[in-house]
Chain A
Amino acid sequence: MTDTDIQLMFCGSAGDGTIAVGDIFKRAMAKAGYKVIAFDIYPPEIRGFGKCISRVRVTSRQAYSLKQQSDVLVSLNDSYAIPHVTEIRDFGSVIYDQAPIAPMAEGEHISGHLLPGQLPYGLRIREISDQTTGGSKSKNIVALGYLAGLYGIKGDPFHQIIQEKFQHKDPSISETNLRAFDTSYDEGASTFRLDFIELGTPERQDVGNKVQMMTGNAAVVRGCLDAGLNNFFGYPITPATSIMESLATELPRRGGRIVQTEDEISAIAATIGAGYAGTRAATATSGPGLALMIEMLGLGVMAEVPSVIFCSQRGGPSTGMPTKTEQSDLHLAVYGGAGDAQRIVLAPTNVEGAYKCAGKAFEMAEKYQTPVIVLLDLYLSNRYETVVLPRQNPFEADSSKYRSHLERGVAYNRFALTEDNISPRTIPGEEGGIHTITGLEHNEMGRPNDQIHSKMSEKRHNKLLQAFDHPGITIHKRFGGEGKVDVGILGWGSTFGEIFEAMLMAQAEGINCSAMKVVMLSPLPSQPIKEFFSDCGEILIPELNYEGQFANLVASAVSQPFTRLNRVPGVPMQVEDILNQIRHLADRVKSPTAA
């Protein structure tokens, strides 16, 4: 079997249909059975301005990140695509409009910027669009058809996706777009191909489960729905908004409620209120919103109320870089707030993980009676992956430890000190369940009392440690083999995909290395991390923040020195960057004095 591993980059202006064509391409390839990872970059401005890029990696076996260099660039707007020509590999291809409508000055056409090793494929994109649809709006579909024809990709999945995309519009729109696709498909098929890009057979799919393609945010929504979310409160903020948008459609259909509040403080307050009332409740925000929520989050900790907060990180601080990715809200998520405000923080590393963490967050919030923060980032929120979801709902419908019937009639201590540090819960209005709830330190009955602060602090801390053994969720995992290795790479969040690819590449070069992902960042699973450290000659911790926030957490748990790799480019970390560091550390292990 020939392994397929190609990455395409569609680049154009907002309004060119760049993201749309990337979407059709990735859906068609997923429909054909390939694995897909895709990530779109779009401008913060309104439609009609700014650069849009859609990168799609198509593989026959599961891949874990986008590649540093793409194999094919499709330019829908040369002025935006020209700066990205250098991101196409030698002997890669560039597809562009050979017959644009307006005269241009020297240097404005992309053909003048191709590197010597790249292969030009000029096509009459606008002309074909005009001829087949009567306008230039289908330039993206023309480019797509040429691409599919050129590489011999079957047209059927594209036809289906195009029809689905336009099914709610006038039938003539679908027909003309299909005509545009077919015309350029034939042109592509008859073009003499010079590159060496081959599509092999996709890997056999897991027939027992549901294979779907979705973004990280869509996976969060699915996880929320499968976990039985009842109430969602939110205030829009990039890159978390699409969670609320999807839930606004889906949740009411399932009997749930969604409220767009006036700000993030109201959103978290309502979430805690709904959690207190015994429903599954959540909110979603980004770093600036989480900063506003932090005070209320402390109330959730102190009052031991379940709540789930999804935080999709973006470049910060302050308004920062709304459409750029970063992993710099970790300190805020783990430490933010007044006092010892222990909470659970989960950070999925991929889209499938986003689904699992979303659902499990509700279980954990209920079971350990605490706020749970699920940390995503723009890269994970917006990137598409083909994922395998279980056919059976994997989430418990209710994980609460309730006051039993036998306890009824006995004086109720909402915050009773118990062996497992988790107090029996009751739902407001339940007979005999009267209690006080407050942000002040309180005794077992909930009445303000600062004499018991030490015990209560210990209770709130220790109850969370049971989350290490929470069923059905992987809170840390080692990859690449057990035992002693020269280099270990420790990672979290979306960057772990790049770490994993770098590890595989390093192993292919003969470097003895392995990688470990940490999904639960608070409480931190220190013991497995220590064990991993003891197996590694050198340790590398790559992350997308300037300070090394995860490295700081790790440093508080282990004494062994390690190397940090911190980048804040606003885009995903480069696999090559990580690989170079692995090579460097491997050399240092082999020749400690030379390094």
Chain B
Amino acid sequence: MASTEHYVIIGNGVAGNEAACHLRQRDPESRITIITAGRLLFYSRYELPRVFHESCDWRDFLVNPIEYYVKNRINVRRNSFVTHVDAHRKTLNLAHKEEISYSQLLVASGGASYLPAELSDFAPLLNHFNLYSAACKVRDILPSKGKIVMLGGDVLGLDLARNLLKEGYKIILVATEQTFWPHRVDSDERALFLGALRDMGVEVIEEVKIEQIQEGAPGMSARHVIFDDGREIFADVVMPFLGLLPAADFMMGSGVDFERGLLVSTNLRTTDQNIWAAGDVCQIWSSQENQYRFYYGWKNVKKMGEIAARNMTGDDILWETATDHKMYLDENKQIISPYWEHD
């Protein structure tokens, strides 16, 4: 008998797509819908630095060919914004006023770039690198061998930095407490890794705060950064890499427990029996640490997608609390983050 299940996945990243793949395998007759605010199919954000050294367009970043979605009957609703989830009625609303019913809902909407309040005034002058369109914009405005100021320097930023250094760009890293995020590093490790960055050619500025970011003067560099110690830097772009915040505002009022992210038990079910969560958006209960916590990186997130899908279709598999992946220096004294690994 044909399944009447409608699995709805909010989020078009690693967790959501891995879940969709397993859902299709385990329930071939069901309906599967992925809802995403983006306009592209699932693509690898880890590969975005390629825009600087290859002639490529967005199709080269797709993880699955378009035929995959047709063959597996996975409907990806792009450019669609979820505004509200009603757990009681098992419906969600999209910004264009369409109401979607679900049997099981997986929230895998990931995280949005974090920008602290003291920098919010300068947001129009900052360039992100979290989307294909944002990456292309940076590529287009950055002159050859241009200068980039990186605020923070989380693992995504460091990945971009090492790529840009190879292409001859100048990197200035303004170290903050988010530097190396989400790795947890002690003061000795921090000093070690900052030293390694300097050896790689990154100019590291520590123990300063941003006083002002301004547009550069005509004919000069496009950005002018002023620090609280009086130092000034002219650069072509200023990019914040300050970690991620869970992107699930639409779950407010849904009746599901929410702390910094969606709270889920180790089977990735939320406090509603038909709503699950996976990826950067959820905090999973850790019995070892006796608290809810986040897990990051392609491998973790992918595994969460699989577990959620299996549990949504009847299994009862538990997320096993992983030890943190440690950042390290390789034999060439280059920084390596396990979070850079991906399929």
Contact = CB atoms under 8 A, between A and B. Distances in A.
Interface stretch (A110-118, A337-345, A357-365, A393-401): A110-118
A112 B133 contact: no
B84 interface: no
17 contacts: A90-B66, A100-B96, A104-B96, A104-B98, A104-B99, A106-B98, A106-B99, A106-B101, A111-B98, A112-B98, A115-B70, A116-B69, A116-B76, A117-B66, A120-B39, A120-B79, A194-B40
A192 B101 CA distance: 31
A103 interface: yes
B94 A119 contact: no
A102 interface: yes
A313 B96 CA distance: 43
B77 interface: yes
B231 interface: no
Interface residues of B, number: 28
Contact of A121 (B58, B59, B76, B79): B79
A114 B101 CA distance: 19
B79 A111 contact: yes
B80 A116 contact: no
B142 interface: no
A194 B98 contact: no
A100 B95 CA distance: 9
Contacts of B321: none
Contacts, number: 65
Contact of A114 (B33, B59, B70, B78): B78
A116 B41 contact: yes
Interface string A79-94: 0000000000011000
A109 B96 contact: yes
A117 B69 CA distance: 9
Interface string B54-80: 000111000000101110000111111
Contacts of A90: 66
A96 to B, nearest CB: 9
B136 interface: yes
Given A116-B66, A117-B66, A194-B58, A105 B79 contact: no
Nearest to A110: B96
Nearest to B74: A116
Interface in B89-103: 94-101
B78 A102 contact: no
A261 interface: no
A266 B234 CA distance: 86
Interface in B105-156: 133, 136-137
B31 to A, nearest CB: 10
B255 to A, nearest CB: 21
A99 B79 contact: no
Contact of B70 (A106, A109, A116): A116
Contacts of B66: 90, 115-117
B94 A109 contact: yes
Nearest to B79: A120
Contacts of B137: 192
Given A99-B95, A116-B70, A192-B136, A111 B40 contact: no
A245 interface: no
Given A116-B76, A121-B79, A122-B79, A97 B98 contact: no
A112 B77 contact: yes
Contact of A97 (B59, B96, B101, B136): B96
B30 to A, nearest CB: 15
A402 to B, nearest CB: 71
Nearest to B97: A103
A108 interface: yes
Contact of B97 (A102, A115, A116, A122): A102
Nearest to A102: B97
Contacts of B79: 98, 111, 120-122
Interface in B14-68: 33, 39-41, 57-59, 66, 68
Given A192-B133, A194-B39, A120 B96 contact: no
A271 B41 CA distance: 63
B85 to A, nearest CB: 14
Contacts of A91: 59
A90 B41 CA distance: 13
B65 to A, nearest CB: 9
Contacts of A98: 79, 95-96
B39 A105 contact: no
A448 to B, nearest CB: 74
Given A98-B79, A117-B66, A121-B79, A109 B41 contact: no
Contact of A119 (B33, B39, B70, B75): B39
Contacts of B69: 116
